[in-house]
Amino acid sequence: MVHPPVADIPPGSLPSGSLPQVDVPSGVPNGLPGAAPPPPVAPHRGSVIGSAVTDAIVSGLLTGLLLLPLVGFRATESGSGPLGLTYRFGLVAVFAAIVAVLRLVLNLTVWRRGRKVKTGTEPSAFAALVQKAAPALRPAFFSFAIAYPFLAILLSGGLSPSRYWVDLGIYVLTYVMLGWGLNIVVGLAGLLDLGYVAFYAVGAYTFALLSTSVPLNEFFAGHLGEGFWTAWSFWLCLPVSGILAAFWGVILGFPVLRLRGDYLAIVTLAFGEIIRLVLINWVSLTNGGAGISSIPPISFFGVPFNSSDDGFAARYGLDFDSMHRIIFLYFVILGLAVLTALVTIRLRQMPVGRAWEALREDEIACRSLGINTTLTKLTAFATGAMFGGFAGAFFAVRVRFVSPESFTFMESAVILAIVVLGGMGSQMGVAGAAILLIGGMEMLRNLSFLKADFLFGPDFDPSLYRMLIFGFAMVAVMVWRPRGLVSSRLPTVFLKERKAVSASLVKEGHG
């Protein structure tokens, strides 16, 4: 029997990736040492690069071939004449190059053979960093949030130019608050809610309807003076919005008590749509798709933000500026968000919060420990919905116009994405994800430097690509941090040390 000289080739020098791997030299009789699996070999550096390059070229060529008919030819209309044909081989080449380069990078990093996979019980480096920074992170985050509008004014040079930045801050903080509210339902109690926007809508419409109600206005005008309702409506309606939203949370909670996971998600999704459709079709109450406008603006606890003598500016000796109202709105939403966070932190240390977390882990075990799961679920729905309602009322007073179009499923999806990306149950994670998603998406509008002549030219509209980049970013985060940015959970009580263990080591509860 002639042995083929396979064994002489150093293992690993064979191009991998594109070729099937030959492990055992064929022709070696059974029973001899050669039949045993080859000992593990350290990957040969040169060959790794070689095979990666080969692989990149092959996949680039394949992409080019595939895309040639799909992208390379384009039928164009030229006026009334016959269809013309244009060739876009350059574009095909660009796509092929992108695939080749990406594959090369992946082959040299993530997919590299012999790459040491990290193992261990410690939380990942990122989680450890967050853990270490956690005590400082909260105050830092909070101080930055307080200083933010002033920083914006300083850096943009004046009140009026800072409007965009303060508005952006309000926008982001609204989602931080919504994320924290939904975090109670999804992150703590483990009830997948795809219809959270319904409570946002309930809060917004409650405030919009009450504040524009003529009978209420007349009632208060008769008793407490003209203009009382306009000035105070937000502060009086805010708790009402929260309570009504919580009430609707309980209404949603009852039929879905026995549902879990996917089924719960479908029903809550339907609930969100029902609320939106009711808002559209109940024209006599909600004015249908036209929405409710002329909602009174927010007041500084009864003092209106206007240029009159009783206005905020006159009363506190300032020059009138419409930015005062915007900055005040910023601090209102900051206060509401902080309230959400503090209530959640407090509740987590109380029996009801612990019961939520236990419910997320294992419902049957909860029941066998004497926990009333019905009550626990309903309180989770109600608490989460209440904060959604607060945020809704705030939304209505900020925009001063509500219509069903603001409360589509997309909103629910974005809020849920914030919670999932941030890491379920983690407050800092959720806040970070809201800043990243909402702020980042807004920032993508500002990529005007891409319009430079040497890049894409003035016809290029970067804002069209922001959803694409957003999608890529989501996929990337989910690949590298499948349980969200902050996946470790801190116990609420501890005996010796507060030890956080990465969630990836422990399976999810399937109660």
Question: Which stretches of the chain bind other proteins, using CB under 8 A?
Answer: 121, 351, 354-355, 357-358, 361-362, 364-373, 489, 491-499, 501, 503, 505-509, 511
Vertex 191: Cα angle to 252 and 172 (nearest 5): 90
Residue closer to other proteins (CB basis): 94 or 505: 505
Residue closer to other proteins (CB basis): 309 or 497: 497
Residue closer to other proteins (CB basis): 206 or 376: 376
* Least CB distance to other proteins at residue 142 (A): 27
CA distances from 415 to 87, 99, 131, 192, 420 (A): 43, 32, 24, 12, 9
Region of 25 please: left (phi>0), alpha (psi -120 to 50) or beta: beta
Instruction: Taking each helix axis as running N to C, give the angle between helix 323-348 and helix 351-361, from 0 to 180 degrees, rounded to the nearest 10.
Output: 80
Residue closer to other proteins (CB basis): 152 or 503: 503
Region of 287 please: left (phi>0), alpha (psi -120 to 50) or beta: left
Residue closer to other proteins (CB basis): 262 or 497: 497
Residue closer to other proteins (CB basis): 122 or 226: 122
Residue closer to other proteins (CB basis): 127 or 435: 127
> In whole angstroms, what separates CA 360 from the centre of its chain?
21
Instruction: Taking each helix axis as running N to C, give the angle between helix 351-361 and helix 373-399, from 0 to 180 degrees, rounded to the nearest 10.
Output: 100
- Spatial separation of the C-alpha atoms in residues 245 and 200, rounded to whole Å: 8
Beta bridge partners of 501: 489
Token code pair at residue 429: 């994670």
- In the block, residue with structure tokens 């990243």: 436
Identify residue 372 by its one-letter amino acid code: N
Residue closer to other proteins (CB basis): 85 or 493: 493
- Spatial separation of the C-alpha atoms in residues 87 and 74, rounded to whole Å: 6
Cβ atoms of 430 and 414 within 8 Å: the answer is no
Residues 6+ positions from 161 with CB-CB distance below 8 Å: none
- Spatial separation of the C-alpha atoms in residues 97 and 83, rounded to whole Å: 30
Cβ atoms of 500 and 508 within 8 Å: the answer is no
* Least CB distance to other proteins at residue 494 (A): 5
Residue closer to other proteins (CB basis): 104 or 371: 371
